[in-house]
Amino acid sequence: MRVLVTGASGTLGRKVVPHLVAAGHEVRAMSRRPRPGGDGVEWVVADLGAGTGVDLAVTGVDAVVHLASATRSFDARVDVAGTRRLVTDSAEAGVRHLLYVSIVGIDEVPLRYYRLKLAAERIVTTGEVPWSVLRATQFPQLLDGMLRVAGRLGPVFGDRAMLVQPVDPGDVAGRIADRLVAGPGRTIEEYGGPQVLRYDEAVAAWSVARGRRRSLLSIRVPGRFGRAVRAGGLTTTATPTGSRTWADYLADTYGGSARK
């Protein structure tokens, strides 16, 4: 199968591309900047936000794995207008399956970025291209980064009762490969990590792994956001789940040694 991967240079894309190549697919990887080919990957330049190169990128592919997202700028030109452009161009090119990777909780947790992702989902699910949506829980890299910020002044700030369910990008890449083989199910599937953790549990393990004992300064996050996350809005009971745990990520990243 010839597969286009948008957002191929991101955290998840860097796992998805080699996984699909190893599974025997012909992979076309999309990036906003020129990149050298090799390792069975054809790189193409296209920009969803600017609307350039997308029509050429989808030409001749059987399926599209849509990972690209404005995770830092929360730019509707990428997540909403860009997804609409991708769906339209894919339909005109005769693409047979568009698999969109989204986030667990976007319909429950009130965040601007999540509203954009939900809008993008609706574009995919009402478009002409046969589709699948895979909603994943948070990556451990994101939780790690959040804890670094929350603990930059010493104690780690946060709501001890909030629930998280980190899922490894490699596990998500494997699930994407399975969904491609299964074909467009026109369903929204959820996929999470193997453990649901309270924030205080995640902080304790993180502190030990980094060799720097950090106390938790618990603050109760108010409003709809706090209530939604404490109630498990960012978690799922769906099966199957990934296999790699938060502890696995911490061991790989810090090796139990102190990090300054």
Spell out the per-residue pLDDT of the chain, length 260, in tens: 999 999 999 999 999 999 999 999 999 999 988 888 788 899 999 999 999 999 999 999 999 999 999 887 788 899 999 999 999 999 999 999 999 999 999 999 999 999 999 999 999 999 999 999 999 999 999 999 999 999 888 899 999 999 999 999 999 999 999 999 999 999 999 999 999 999 999 999 999 999 877 789 999 999 999 999 999 999 999 999 999 999 999 999 998 543 43
**pLDDT tens digits along 125-152:** 999 999 999 999 999 999 999 999 998 8
Strand partners, 190: 135
Q: Report the C-alpha gap between 207 and 114 in whole angstroms.
A: 29
Q: Report the C-alpha gap between 236 and 20 in whole angstroms.
A: 26
State the DSSP string of the chain: -EEEEETTTSTTHHHHHHHHHHTT-EEEEEESS----BTTEEEEE-BTTTTBSHHHHHTT-SEEEE----TTT--HIIIIIIHHHHHHHHHHHT--EEEEEEETTTTTS--HHHHHHHHHHHHHHTSSS-EEEEEE---HHHHHHHHHHHTTTSSEEE-TT-EE----HHHHHHHHHHHHHH-----EEEE--S--EEHHHHHHHHHHHTT----EEE----HHHHHHHHTTTT----SS--S--HHHHHHHHHTT----
The pLDDT value given to residue 258: 37
The pLDDT value given to residue 209: 93
- Token pair 């502190």: residue: 207
Closest CA to 65 of 177, 168, 182: 177
Axis-axis angle for helices 246-254, 140-150 (nearest 10): 70
The pLDDT value given to residue 257: 45
Within a 10 A sphere around the Cβ of 179, how many other Cβ atoms?
22
The pLDDT value given to residue 39: 83
The pLDDT value given to residue 176: 98
The pLDDT value given to residue 43: 96
Domains of the chain (ranges, CATH numbers): 2-136+169-191 (3.40.50.720)
Phi, psi of 27 (to 5 degrees): -110, 130
State the average pLDDT for the chain.
94
Model pTM above 0.85: yes
